[in-house]
Structure 1
């Protein structure tokens, strides 16, 4: 019923709440407890008004309503989720402060002697900006407006250029401080600090694979990414280039590294570090003279809207999962999966295939909040660390944004592209990056220490 209603287009959060309350009313129905006061009033000869009031009181005297209120309060009082609006605000204020356009221009000049220099500049900019925001749609849209037209003007192949923007824009799902990892930590109970430390190396590994692919492809097929002429880039003295880097690349990089460093070295909680990041975003915007009342108001509005979506999804999901568990759903699934007698690696592959398929119709937030809790109770049976499982999911979910026919990153880019750019060309451009993600996942399966090395080094086992 839930999947059917989602396919009809009902909002996911409110569908979850409605399903939870409806089935929960049945699950927690206790006739004696609910209707005893009403029966007493009827037997005592109460008037029509007293009987009606008692009837409504009896109808509402069901523990599902207590559960719903308690779950709502638990979500709103969750310390981990406090970091979500603060990181979102940092990203939105950075996005609207014209910092990214300066960064792309500077990196483009700095990498001018490399094959596919503009694509590499776009990838590095995407990685930094995605790290600051964690919002795929925002990164792909902004870089599609800044870098994509510039690459087309520089005679880059349309598919090659579009693949760079789409793949680079998805890196924020994995590279800390990722909003997705915060949501996974709140869902699974894994330490967000250890999760960030575990995701750092795989995130940069994937970004490095992207850059290596772009360099190799541009070197082997120069017509896909022609080298810029002197007129296009211009002669920039070394001293001026250093100043440009100091005023564009380093401020944003220092802000991100400060936030991450404060979290990873235990100097601040994720919420405290996110608050510092939000303040740093405001300071950067003010330093670039881009902090206007309209931009601030728009950033606050977008932050509140996105945070509300995530929090109400949590409310609906936790109430839904509580009722699902009370009715024995988790036990049924657990018995079925354990009865298949799978090896740990087979279970991991099966789980990742299911999450990959769910990524077509659903957003990452819905997958993490609704479906991942179904897998979490099975992890101890197969001896799988939930930290490792979460990083694999973060890698896997990038494919859901890049895989046709429901590749949302491609649709984001198509929405702001020139009319002559065909959706098929964008799809063609993203396919090689799916291969890079698959290679990264295979490396992580084969060498789990890629994820465990940094958390073990910094925090011990």
Structure 2
């Protein structure tokens, strides 16, 4: 069989198996095994040796130890109710503005994103906490769903982010190290949060019925001094934790893995100060960490098998020759790669997309002359849309699970569309102003 046919057949088989509903990690490994045997003439020992070498390299990767530590930090913070106090203070401070409660959700999710990288925790927590408040104040259903789903996904981009840890561990390049990725993701994450903020503010001022302010009586129940006190009391603890984690990484004091350990310890201290640290919280956090880490690592194993077989049989060269040899402008090729990732994000988990596409697309981007760090952040911002795009956007189902019973999936689908468009706009802005990605890593790491 020709190499081109094998390349197409391997991807077609993967997509068909995913459509049938098989678990993604095992599907990746099974497809890799099938085509690996076909490619090497059914020599089982040779394929087994390839898989063992890849798994050994994966297990030796010290950077990946940060994954369970960051997940543990997120789980403890989720149970310490840090976001509850922050939302209550922002409710009072911003509630009197048109669309102010929506702005409060974006602000809380932005801070929460910088302390946790777990999308499910952010969307579920804000869904339970903010949805009743927004609905009681007359916010449109679609806008409420869009605000909570989109803001909740910021955690996958704003560091410390599990996606960045996986990406850095996958490439092994100095330019795309976890520290560089964390530094490069700060401005894109804040840019996206700023676009959400501006959209909600402008739209609710044009049509106040979409997001009416709280009553004057409710807004005037607190003095300016009380508002400042509430804000500082709820905002300072998570900010100190953010500075402790990110400051040690960007300052070169600690590796991402060491900073993750510090973050988990700091999350425990915050839970203790909030009187939420007990045996039940520790047990549930540890159990949830074990489950999530196991899922991520199984995806990593399956994805490594798939990419190893695909690259060893020459599939990467086929894709590179198809794109680079086409004679198309490099920006058109970049658009094609981003479009492929966007479409894959509608159906496949972000980790699997990284593991399948990065070994193929990153060398192509480098050969085209694109900065590898800038391209990597474009890819990561693009992957954030995978949590929002129908039919399988995880954030949509997380929100549906905690939303009032009169919410339909169509309410949620209509609500997230403007925010998906904002994410696409943010990718365009990063293309126009690449220094948004590259400047901060240059300052900290040279």
- TM-score band by shorter chain is over 0.9
Larger Rg: 1
The Cα shift of 1:399 comes to: 2.1
Within the alignment, does 1:5 sit opposite 2:17 as a pair? yes
Within the alignment, does 1:392 sit opposite 2:378 as a pair? yes
- In structure 2, what is the equivalent of residue 229 of structure 1? 215
Is the Cα–Cα contact under 8 Å of residues 21 and 65 in structure 1 kept in the other structure? no
- In structure 1, what is the equivalent of residue 187 of structure 2? 201
- In structure 1, what is the equivalent of residue 162 of structure 2? 179
- In structure 2, what is the equivalent of residue 213 of structure 1? 199
Within the alignment, does 1:24 sit opposite 2:7 as a pair? no
Please give the per-residue CA displacement for 1:1-25, whole angstroms capped at 9, x wherever unaligned: 2222222222221222223333334
Within the alignment, does 1:158 sit opposite 2:141 as a pair? yes
Is the Cα–Cα contact under 8 Å of residues 396 and 412 in structure 2 kept in the other structure? yes
Is the Cα–Cα contact under 8 Å of residues 343 and 382 in structure 1 kept in the other structure? no
Is the Cα–Cα contact under 8 Å of residues 104 and 122 in structure 1 kept in the other structure? yes
Is the Cα–Cα contact under 8 Å of residues 347 and 391 in structure 2 kept in the other structure? no
Within the alignment, does 1:350 sit opposite 2:333 as a pair? no
Within the alignment, does 1:277 sit opposite 2:289 as a pair? no
TM-score, scaled to structure 2: 0.92
Q: Distance in 2 between matches of 1:275 and 1:408?
A: 28
Q: Distance in 2 between matches of 1:132 and 1:333?
A: 38
Within the alignment, does 1:90 sit opposite 2:73 as a pair? yes
Q: Distance in 1 between matches of 2:339 and 2:224?
A: 49
Is the Cα–Cα contact under 8 Å of residues 70 and 260 in structure 2 kept in the other structure? yes
- In structure 2, what is the equivalent of residue 192 of structure 1? 178
Is the Cα–Cα contact under 8 Å of residues 158 and 425 in structure 1 kept in the other structure? yes
The Cα shift of 1:28 comes to: 4.4
Please give the per-residue CA displacement for 1:20-65, whole angstroms capped at 9, x wherever unaligned: 333334444597xxxxxxxxxxxxxxxxxxxxxxxxxxxx6x1222
Is the Cα–Cα contact under 8 Å of residues 204 and 210 in structure 2 kept in the other structure? yes
**Residue correspondence of structure 1 range 50-449 to structure 2 within 5 A:** 62-189=45-172, 190-233=176-219, 235-449=221-435
Task: Compute the RMSD of aligned alpha carbons.
Answer: 1.8
Larger deviation, residues 403-412 vs 182-191: 403-412
The Cα shift of 1:187 comes to: 1.7
Q: Which runs of 5+ in 2 are unaligned?
A: 1-12
Assess, with a 3 A threshold, how the Cα gap between structure 1 residues 253 and 410 changes in structure 2: closer, same or farther. Answer: same
The Cα shift of 1:272 comes to: 0.5
Is the Cα–Cα contact under 8 Å of residues 187 and 437 in structure 2 kept in the other structure? yes
Q: Distance in 2 between matches of 1:70 and 1:435?
A: 42
Larger deviation, residues 417-426 vs 353-362: 417-426
Is the Cα–Cα contact under 8 Å of residues 113 and 159 in structure 2 kept in the other structure? no
Please give the per-residue CA displacement for 1:298-336, whole angstroms capped at 9, x wherever unaligned: 111111111111112222222222222222212222222
Q: Distance in 1 between matches of 2:177 and 2:228?
A: 39
The Cα shift of 1:273 comes to: 0.5
